[in-house]
Structure 1
Amino acid sequence: MKKISFYILPFFIFTLFVFAGIQSTKKTAQFKLIENTKSFVAGNPITLVFQCSSKTASADLYLIHSYSKIIVNAKNENGKLVFKLPLLFTEKTGNVNWYLISNSEKKSFGNFKITPNNNTQTEIENYLGPRTILTGNQNFTMIVTVPTDGYDNPKEDNTLVLIKDQFLENTTTESIKTAHFIAWKNIYSRTQAGKMLVSSQCEQTSTREIETDIYPSIATDFNIRYERNHDFADGNQITKLITTSITDQYGNQVSDGTLVTFYITNSSNIVLKTYAATINGVAIGQILHPDHKETYRIKAYVTGIAESPSITINYKPLIEKFPYTFSKNNRTITVGPLTSFMNQIVPNGIKVELKIIHNNQVIETKQVDSYEGKARFTLSPSFYKEKQYQFEITTLGITQKTKIISYEIH
């Protein structure tokens, strides 16, 4: 019996030793961040090193950043897990949360911050709008400035920005600190029209100028007048309708191209219209002289904004009476020659109207245009078969009635 016990005891001790060794290899590896740095500068290398209790253990680093989410693989260097972040990831500022994952289990977690790199050349993004405003202290344009580092990261809050605006001979500079990554300013209009230049500066970097045009505000009431060569109703000459200089409430001439509508009411209460656009604040419209005695009442508008008082233009009749003759068995009626106020032949195209009357009833009306001062009408026997007709001729606002004309019927 003593001999058997002597052999069993060593075997039992050996079994315990092997079991303990197996249990020790199943222990979970421990990880510890060696340097817990909380802030890094954008563009500089970022490396996280973990002390590991096992030289064979491995792990992955899961990073969450506003720019992206990535997984970085480790390099085990004699029990140290080294995680080197990609360069592109290190160039973007913001808060970074990391999680160390081994065997699908989270072993450790933490966070750090990447801040802008102030050692790089400062860049500036400017946004200005609207690019056109009206005169007056109630209108403004806004400039928004975003200063960034060399990696396009917005500078930290309270970074000083100089915003400058120039108008005519005056230049204004204001110091503004960034908040939520931007610096902004409302730049109010002036009472004069013109071009305003805006720029900004941060540290040693200045931007190019940005233009904003200050246009005149809405037009105010104005007056009109007329010009013409003569006052006869010849249906040929032009009367010019001219506004005074149209300005806004600050005395600035309205923008070129402002549309003015001239409303013309004749003696029959028929409304005519003509249009003109302003040049240097003045609009010049044109109307053709009527071809008969007439009175025009004219009023001008910048639609919905401004208007002028009414003016009246009178046109005298060009003639008092006109000649006419019958020929070719009274079948051809020639009106004219029509002469004007200097006894000159009237322009071609004067309307001449002929009413054909039978038994005191108008049976037809004809109209032709004058040529070289005359107008001709021909009455075909095939259509006009009555023995007697009377005619009423109207031109240039003058109406003359003929006697009763007799015709031979075959």
Structure 2
Amino acid sequence: MTKGDVKKVVLAYSGGLDTSIILRWLQEEYRCEVVTFTADIGQGEELEPARKKAEMLGIKEIYIEDLREEFVRDYVFPMFRANTTYEGVYLLGTSIARPLIGKRLIEIAEETGADAISHGATGKGNDQVRFELTAYALKPDVKVIAPWREWDLNSRAKLIEYAQNHQIPVPKDKHGESPYSMDANLMHISYEGKALEDPWVEPDEDMFRLTVSPEAAPDKAEYIEIEYKNGDPVAVNGEKLSPAAMLTRLNELAGKHGIGRLDLVENRFVGMKSRGVYETPGGTIMLTAHRAIESITLDREEAHLKDELMPRYAELIYNGFWFSPEREMLQAAIDHTQKTVNGVVKLKLYKGNVIVVGRQSPNSLYRMDYVTFEEDTVYDQYDANGFIRLNALRLRLGKMARG
């Protein structure tokens, strides 16, 4: 498909400078009709300005949608059932939002008869891969337009010059160099680039938006209780909450106690290392609480196998393979384990820490009559003799053979 073959394109549109430039560039370079799609996934910004700017740029079909509940229910919660972290620490706040946005881009393309989609991800990052793998998985014949891989607007000065030449408003703070790039949703905020590119330099405290510093957090700990049903949190301190409301509440609780900051050098899928700073307050609580409720409800081998599968599952999400058969296969196995993950976890929040102080479940496998150090009538300690000797048999034989 050539430029002249594209009749209509759906653009993932934030209303910011970069995507506004992309919008005009698509109109000029491809001579096609543009449909804009702006998703509310909890980034905390007013979205109506995006509509007004799209209208100003001549757009007739404008989609602005609140996807917060779908985002948490169908993407964040399933991911947390696996206790997912990429490279041991990253909670994948940006990664998990991309398949939802990509899915809606394709659905809107189908609804409007568009033959292409477009995004503002750069040619150096992971997001281009995530958007496009999603698109091809759901609509194999779709045309994907990635301007950053086509145009020569490869500097901030060139972008601003293009905007001024095409009557695109440039916010005053965009005339200078931004200290970092930021991506926000209900799950987290990520900060990358510019001032953060040197991994030795500590980020400025005034950068953070969701959390106070642990030093500035309250001197008194706060106790909370989270109720789980089938592996998902459903109530905080006895109050039932929807998925989006749950994450919002946990963000608030964690944020005021300085919980959820992460400074990470990670391995991008495209091959380079990058330094990112993340705020994931509610997600940090959810990870700790979920592991705590699983500790008394999952069988040992079931729990250990989940932990073995998790890095592969995390890698699939990070690399953009949410709609792959292998991710769906792993999800089915993970979800099967969650049928008995029910109960309540009690946590103490204090100066950047989430501390588990209690857990209980109607499906608990924890038996006090078996684990007690006092006298019991259910466990014969003599049985350990045979257990140990059988497990030691191969070690003894190996030693005898080697001499």
TM over 0.5, yes or no?
A: no
Q: Which has the higher helix share?
A: 2
Structure 2 length-normalised TM = 0.17
- Structure 1 or 2: larger strand share? 1
Larger RCO (CA within 8 A; separation ≥ 6): 2
